[in-house]
Amino acid sequence: MTFDDLHIASILVSTVRNAPVLIFAAMAGLFAERSGVIDIGLEGKILASAFVSAAVAFATKNPWYGVAAGMLVSVALATLQGYVAITQKGNQLVAGIAVNIAMSGLTFVVAQYFFQQGGRTPDLGSARLFDVVLPGSDAVENIPFLGWFYAHLIGGHSVLVYLAFLLVPVVHWVIYHSRFGLRLRACGENPHAADAAGISVERQRYLAMLIAGVLCSFSGAYLAIVQSGFFLRDMSAGAGYLALTAMVFGNWRPFHTFLGCLMFGFFGAVQIQIEGVELPVIGRIPGSLIQMVPYVVTVVVLAGLMAKSVAPKALGTPFVKSR
Partner 1 sequence: MNNHDLPRWATAFVMPVLNLLSALLVAALVIYMLGESPAESLGILINSAVVNPEGLSYTLFYASTFIFTGLAVSIAMQAGLFNIGAEGQMYFGGLGLTLAMLAFDSSLPWWLLLPVGMLGAALFGALWSFLPGYLQAKRGSHIVVTTIMFNFISASLMNFVIVKYLVPAGEQNPASRAFADAAAMPLLNQWLPVLGETPLNISFFIAIIALVIYGVVTTRSAWGFKLRATGLNQHAAHYAGIRISKMIITVMLISGALAGLGSVNAIMGSTHYLSLNFVNGAGFVGIAIALMGRQHPLGIFLSSVLFGALIQGGFDLSLEKPNIPIETFIFIQGLIILFCGAMENFYAPAIARLLKRKG
Applying CB under 8 A, the residues found at the interface with partner 1 are 40, 84, 88-95, 97-106, 108-109, 112-113, 119, 237-238, 241, 244-245, 248, 286, 288-289, 291-292, 295-296, 298-299, 302-304, 306-307
Looking at the Cβ atoms of 179 and 308, the one nearer to partner 1 is 308
CA dihedral 211, 176, 253, 71 (to 10 degrees): 10
Q: Cβ closer to partner 1: 69 or 160?
A: 69
Shortest distance, CB of residue 158 to partner 1, whole angstroms? 27
Contact predicate 249/310, CB 8 Å: no
CA neighbor of 100 nearest in space, from 38, 149, 142: 38
Q: Which is nearer to partner 1, 61 or 321 (CB)?
A: 321
Closest to partner 1 by CB, 158 vs 236, is: 236
Closest CA to 226 of 149, 133, 294, 124: 124
At its nearest, how many Å lie between partner 1 and the CB of residue 11?
21
Nearer CB in complex with partner 1: 88/126: 88
* DSSP string across 149-211: IIIIIISS-BHHHHHHHHHHHHHHHHHHHSHHHHHHHHHHH-HHHHHHTT--HHHHHHHHHHH
Min dist CB 124 to partner 1, Å, is 23
Task: Please state the closest distance from residue 89 (CB atom) to partner 1, in A.
Answer: 6
CA-to-CA distance for 11 and 141, rounded, in angstroms?
19
Residue 19 CB, nearest approach to partner 1 (Å)? 19
